[in-house]
A and B are shown apart, each in its own frame.
Chain A
Amino acid sequence: MIHIALQKKLTAVQGDILLDINIDIDQGDLITIYGDSGAGKTSILKMMAGLLQADKGCIICNRNTWLDTEKGICLKPQQRKIGFVFQDYALFPNMTVKENLFYALEKRQSKKIIDELIDIIELGDLQDRKPQKLSGGQKQRVALARALVRKPEILMLDEPLSALDNKMRAKLQDYILKVHKQYNLTTLLISHEISEVIKMSDIVCIIENGKIVKQGSPIGIFTTKQVSGKFQFSGEIVHIEKEDVIYIVTILIGTNFVKTIAEATEIQTMSIGDKVIVASKAFNPLIQKVN
């Protein structure tokens, strides 16, 4: 169990806000913090990591107190068992992939973990390359591996996938889920993408102006409020085409395109770029095995 209670006055573009949160996270959960920029998401991770001072607060991670402002306890960043991945990869450009990983190794720590991570995150073919010879997705895989070298209790990901294209993003999501499960990590993710939140997280916290306004399972928070249909996805309208007396609407869901029919009166309320929920009843879709 991880208990996080933090208060801090933040200066944002739209004026001062008071960040005031109180969350309990179960060990092994993947929890997403979702909200507009300037809502205080990154500040929460930085305070967790000890990179930003809280005005008042308490962080207890698996019975170890990392922060208790009333008792004057505040562990240094290196004493907190965390792995951090940022949007910009922050790799050492003059070192190879393997050297980047070795650099994160603690004194007297077994080197076995490096080979293990290279294996899990499939960096074998890349291990002797320098970062400049890597694609964005590959760099982020290295950054993910490096964040795990010290076997953290909490993995923190600050919009790690926002600079990647959809295909790469889906692949990285799978790697993150894989290590999250394999190392029984408690993972905190910041994300702007509803489809990503739904795919990745056990719990989502929606943060507005420094406060958590909603918390729960992502499906419950983002979807079932609207319709009872169990075959339900969120996506974005990319194309609308008139066909006879009806319209064919193409919707991008993750990396897949689906087409659905809409009627003239519905189309008046829809335009390209709109975020939509596509729903059908669980009784309709066919399931067929692929060979």
Chain B
Amino acid sequence: MNSFKGKIADIKTNGSLSLITIQVESVLFTTIVIETPDTASYLKQGNSVTIIFKETEVIISKGIDQPSISIQNKTVGEILDIKKGALLSTLTIDTTIGKIIAVVTSDSIDQLQLYVGEKITTMIKATEIMLSK
């Protein structure tokens, strides 16, 4: 799994859901959780948390122009390594926040013609990011 340390920058709560904004290096990440500051004491502005997301949930977009897409979490980077398998491939990407690993289908690597050294944008949906203290 990909995990990065950050600080809680903002918390929006409605009922039992909270939308948490976490600052990791210079990038803001957003995640939605079924917790509120009342049910989870670690949800406090300024607190350190770790964001966690699975390699298979990382979405790749060619180039570094921000695509207009509903995915809130985006960070730009450069492909460091591609390990190609028959069906799935592993990408190692050097991004603003550190190394992100992505597992995507080998077909999509062919279709996008991704190569080592290419500048790309990695994206993760807000519903795919977990928090850990």
Interface residues of A (CB under 8 A from B): 224-230, 244-246, 261, 263-266, 279, 281-284
Interface residues of B (CB under 8 A from A): 1, 32-35, 40, 52, 54-56, 83-90, 101, 103, 127-128, 130-133
Q: Are A227 and B132 in contact (CB under 8 A)?
A: yes
B132 CB to nearest chain A CB (Å)? 5
Q: Are A281 and B130 in contact (CB under 8 A)?
A: yes
Q: Are A245 and B56 in contact (CB under 8 A)?
A: no
- Work out how many contacts link A and B, with CB atoms closer than 8 A: 52
Q: Are B88 and A282 in contact (CB under 8 A)?
A: no
With a cutoff of 8 Å between Cβ atoms, the chain A residues found around residue B131 in the complex are 227-228
With a cutoff of 8 Å between Cβ atoms, the chain B residues found around residue A264 in the complex are 90
Q: Are B127 and A283 in contact (CB under 8 A)?
A: yes
Bound complex: CA A274 to CA B34 (Å)? 28
A220 CB to nearest chain B CB (Å)? 10
A286 CB to nearest chain B CB (Å)? 14
Q: Are B90 and A245 in contact (CB under 8 A)?
A: yes
With a cutoff of 8 Å between Cβ atoms, the chain A residues found around residue B54 in the complex are 261
Partner of A227, one of B52, B83, B101: B52
Bound complex: CA A208 to CA B32 (Å)? 37
Q: Are B85 and A245 in contact (CB under 8 A)?
A: yes
Q: For residue B88, which residue of chain A has the nearest CB?
A: A244
With a cutoff of 8 Å between Cβ atoms, the chain B residues found around residue A245 in the complex are 83-85, 88-90, 103
Partner of B34, one of A226, A230, A244, A263: A230
Q: Are A263 and B1 in contact (CB under 8 A)?
A: yes
Contact sample, A vs B, 8 pairs, CB 8 Å cutoff: A227-B132, A244-B85, A244-B86, A245-B84, A245-B88, A246-B90, A261-B56, A281-B130
Q: For residue A244, which residue of chain B has the nearest CB?
A: B85
With a cutoff of 8 Å between Cβ atoms, the chain A residues found around residue B33 in the complex are 228, 281
With a cutoff of 8 Å between Cβ atoms, the chain B residues found around residue A282 in the complex are 34
Q: For residue A230, which residue of chain B has the nearest CB?
A: B34
Q: Are B103 and A246 in contact (CB under 8 A)?
A: yes
A265 CB to nearest chain B CB (Å)? 7
Known A227-B132, A244-B88, A246-B90; 17 more pairs at CB < 8 Å? A226-B132, A227-B52, A228-B35, A228-B131, A244-B85, A244-B87, A245-B84, A245-B85, A245-B90, A246-B88, A261-B103, A263-B90, A266-B1, A279-B130, A283-B127, A283-B128, A284-B127
Q: Are A263 and B133 in contact (CB under 8 A)?
A: no
Bound complex: CA A227 to CA B33 (Å)? 11
Q: For residue B92, which residue of chain A has the nearest CB?
A: A265
Q: Are A263 and B35 in contact (CB under 8 A)?
A: no
Q: For residue B128, which residue of chain A has the nearest CB?
A: A281
Bound complex: CA A279 to CA B129 (Å)? 11
With a cutoff of 8 Å between Cβ atoms, the chain A residues found around residue B84 in the complex are 245
Bound complex: CA A281 to CA B125 (Å)? 12
With a cutoff of 8 Å between Cβ atoms, the chain A residues found around residue B103 in the complex are 245-246, 261, 263
Bound complex: CA A281 to CA B130 (Å)? 7
With a cutoff of 8 Å between Cβ atoms, the chain B residues found around residue A266 in the complex are 1
Q: Are A228 and B83 in contact (CB under 8 A)?
A: no
Q: For residue B55, which residue of chain A has the nearest CB?
A: A263
B54 CB to nearest chain A CB (Å)? 8
**Residue of A224, A226, A227, A245 ringed by the most chain B CB atoms within 10 A:** A245
A225 CB to nearest chain B CB (Å)? 7
Q: Are B130 and A227 in contact (CB under 8 A)?
A: yes
Bound complex: CA A246 to CA B90 (Å)? 8
B100 CB to nearest chain A CB (Å)? 11
Partner of B32, one of A225, A226, A227, A283: A283
Q: For residue A228, which residue of chain B has the nearest CB?
A: B131
With a cutoff of 8 Å between Cβ atoms, the chain B residues found around residue A246 in the complex are 85, 88, 90, 103
With a cutoff of 8 Å between Cβ atoms, the chain B residues found around residue A261 in the complex are 54, 56, 103
**Residue of A263, A266, A281 ringed by the most chain B CB atoms within 10 A:** A281
